[in-house]
Amino acid sequence: MNIQQMQYYAEVCRQENVTKAAATLHMSQSTLSLAMKNIEEDTGLNLFRHVGRNIQLTEDGQALFHEVEKMLKQVKRFESSVKEIAKRHNRLQLAVPSQIATVILPLLLGEFRQFHPEIQLEIIEPAGGAALDMVEREEVDLAFVHDAEGRPNLSLRKLSTWPICLCVPREHPLTNQKSIPLAKAAVYPLVLLSRNFILTRQVLAEFAKQKLQPQVLHYSPNLSSVWNIVQQGIALSILTGNGILPESGLTAIPIEGLQQKGFIVTKKGRQIYADERCLIDFVRHKFAAL
């Protein structure tokens, strides 16, 4: 007997009436009657006596009912244990690099946390490449990154596309430019994010491709340090558009032909838990609305 047959049989035994049991199980009487006949055939036992519209259990039927009830209690305990294990996954570990964090963290710590207070979020802010490494090593459940090509072990869900921009103080002469070529950015002293950032590697590769020599004064691991240096007029920077907030006092000027895609990244072949799926669906819905 399988679990479903046990559940059917136990209900018929409790009700001592196939019609009532069928109503409780939300199935037709004929289907349940056939199921009881199959159980008798499978076990080789006469389980019921028919008394008018009701049935009575034979001695064998009563003995089988006793064993089925014991088995169903074990199944219930098993299901409870599985649910208890699943509760441990109310804690999600996320890797969110600093630039994309400027748009993702307010969503996660604001609206998502308000709607789903039961889900605990542990968030770290590594560089993009490091975030991808952490997903591959299963040190975090997922990451939000800009671009993630050449990683066959990872699954990518696209969020959006942003321009790569020259970041300048609001009073800078270039502020009113709608866009500029990369060659114009190479003229100015620059402060860039560290070389392990996906953006920086992409920008340096494009400088090399165009045979340009950028004036990089410093590579910083901290987005706030980059903003501060630009705000003080010491150097300009090249950042993804979503990494330059309106209240920062800086202006983002798109660089012609350069852009970055944003992705939610998970490990291929790894089970996506319900709370993880909830977060992924929430973020993708928010970006689709934008």
Whichever domain contains 48, its CATH number is 1.10.10.10
- Check whether residue 175 and residue 276 sit in a common domain: yes
Predicted pLDDT of residue 85: 62
Domain tally, the chain: 2
- Check whether residue 197 and residue 214 sit in a common domain: yes
- Check whether residue 100 and residue 11 sit in a common domain: no
- Give the tens place of pLDDT for each residue, 268-282: 988 888 889 999 999
pLDDT (mean) for 232-259: 89
| Dihedral over alpha carbons 30, 35, 37, 40 (to 10 degrees) | -160
- Check whether residue 122 and residue 231 sit in a common domain: yes
- Check whether residue 129 and residue 171 sit in a common domain: yes
Predicted pLDDT of residue 274: 86
- Check whether residue 258 and residue 173 sit in a common domain: yes
pLDDT (mean) for 3-28: 93
Whichever domain contains 129, its CATH number is 3.40.190.290
Predicted pLDDT of residue 271: 85
pLDDT for residue 83 is more than 80: no
Predicted pLDDT of residue 277: 92
If we measure between CA atoms, which residue out of 250, 281, 285, 270 comes closest to residue 134? Answer: 270
Structure token pair of residue 97? 């690099």
Last residue of a domain, one of 54, 87, 120: 87
Predicted pLDDT of residue 249: 83
pLDDT for residue 8 is more than 90: yes
pLDDT for residue 147 is more than 90: no
Q: What is the three-class DSSP state of 229?
A: helix
Helices (H), the chain: 3-15, 18-25, 29-43, 59-87, 98-106, 113-115, 128-136, 182-185, 198-209, 223-231, 274-289
Q: Please give the single-letter amino acid code of residue 37.
A: K
- Check whether residue 101 and residue 211 sit in a common domain: yes
Last residue of a domain, one of 87, 110, 134: 87
- Check whether residue 265 and residue 132 sit in a common domain: yes
- Give the tens place of pLDDT for each residue, 163-181: 999 999 989 999 999 999 9
| Full residue range of the structural domain in which residue 146 is found | 96-289
- Check whether residue 230 and residue 150 sit in a common domain: yes
Last residue of a domain, one of 31, 54, 87: 87
